[in-house]
Amino acid sequence: MLLLAAQWLLLQQTLHVVPLLPAAGVALLGGLLCAMLARVPQRASAASPQESADAERMMGLALHGRGDLLEAFARFRPLPTSDALKDNLYHLGKDFERKKDYAHAKKVFKHLLRRDMEYKDARACYRRAKAHLLAQAGMAADSVASGISVTGASSLPASVQETFPRHKVPEPLAHYDLKHELGQGAMGVVYQGRDLRSGQIVAIKTLALQQEFDGAALVDARERFFKEAEAASRLQHPHIVAIYGSGEEQGLAYIAMEFVAGTDLSAFTQPAYLLPVAQVLSIAHRVAQSLDYAHAHNVVHRDVKPANIMWDAATDTVKVMDFGVARITDASKTRTGIVLGTPSFMSPEQLSGAKVDGRADLYALGVTLFQLLTGSLPLRADSMPELMRKIVHVDPPDIRTFRTDLPEAVARLVAKALRKLPAERYQTGQQLAQDLAYVMGIVASEVPGSPASAVVYDSGRTPTGQHMVDLEKTVLEYPTERAPEQRSVVASVG
For the CA atoms of the chain, what is the radius of gyration?
A: 30
Instruction: Please state the separation of Cα 296 from the chain's center in Å.
Output: 22
State the sign of the Cα–Cα–Cα–Cα dihedral 216, 219, 225, 231. Answer: negative
Give the number of C-alpha atoms closer than 13 A to the C-alpha of residue 406, restricted to the C-beta side.
Answer: 24
Q: How many CB atoms lie within 10 A of CB 421?
A: 10
Burial code (b: 16+ CB inside 10 Å, e: under 16) for 375-408 equals bbbbbeeeebbbbbbbbbeeebeebeeebeebee
Specify whether 95 is catalytic. no
Q: Rounded to an integer, what distance in angstroms lies between the CA atom of residue 349 and that of residue 339?
A: 10
Helices (H), 376-450: 384-393, 408-417, 429-443
Give the CA dihedral 297, 416, 412, 382, nearest 10 degrees: -110
Catalytic residue (choose from 95, 101, 292, 303): 303
- Amino acid type, 477: E
Q: Rounded to an integer, what distance in angstroms lies between the CA atom of residue 121 and that of residue 17?
A: 74
Give the CA dihedral 221, 224, 225, 228, nearest 10 degrees: -170
Q: Rounded to an integer, what distance in angstroms lies between the CA atom of residue 17 and that of residue 10?
A: 7
CA distances from 117 to 4, 77, 82, 124 (A): 54, 16, 14, 11
Tell me which residue of 203, 221, 201, 224 sits closest to 213, measured CA to CA: 221
Give the number of C-alpha atoms closer than 13 A to the C-alpha of residue 212, restricted to the C-beta side.
Answer: 19
147: alpha, beta or left, given left = phi > 0 and alpha = psi -120 to 50? left
Q: What are the residue numbers of the active site?
A: 303
